[in-house]
Amino acid sequence: MADFDNDMFLDAEYDAQEVEFIKNYLPSEVKDKFTEEQLYYILDVICEYYVSKGVFDEDADDDTEIEIDLDEVVNYVKEKAEKEGIGEFDPEDLFFVIQGDFEFNEPSEDEEN
């Protein structure tokens, strides 16, 4: 059980770091358009999208590049947020959040080598 609690703590810490990264990544005119809770929601929906597309499948070859269409992710998040009553977001603003998520999770060249 301690491992589960530790994993949950590490996941929450990672999410908090990502939200802070995205808040700093957003252009100044977009920063105030999203609450912290909305950013956490958007990250969850992005993850849900990736799962639905098999991005995290263990069968995937490590050398296989997965193409991610950020515009498709934007549309998925926008539609889901509206459907669930979270908010109506401008696709251009959402694009910055999704791009920030992508940048945060993209391995640096140092990590790849």
Q: What is the pTM of this model?
A: 0.79
Nearest to 89 by CA among 52, 39, 48, 49: 39
Taking only the tens place, the pLDDT of each residue in 32-89 is 999 999 999 999 999 999 888 877 676 655 556 667 788 999 999 999 999 999 999 9
Question: What confidence score (pLDDT) does residue 62 get?
Answer: 56
Higher-confidence residue of 66 and 90: namely 90
The alpha carbon dihedral of 54, 76, 107, 65 has a sign of positive
Q: What is the pLDDT of residue 61?
A: 56
* Nearest-angstrom CA–CA distance, 7 and 22: 22
pLDDT beyond 60 at 111: no
Look at 23-32, 64-73, 86-95 and tell me which has the smallest mean pLDDT.
64-73
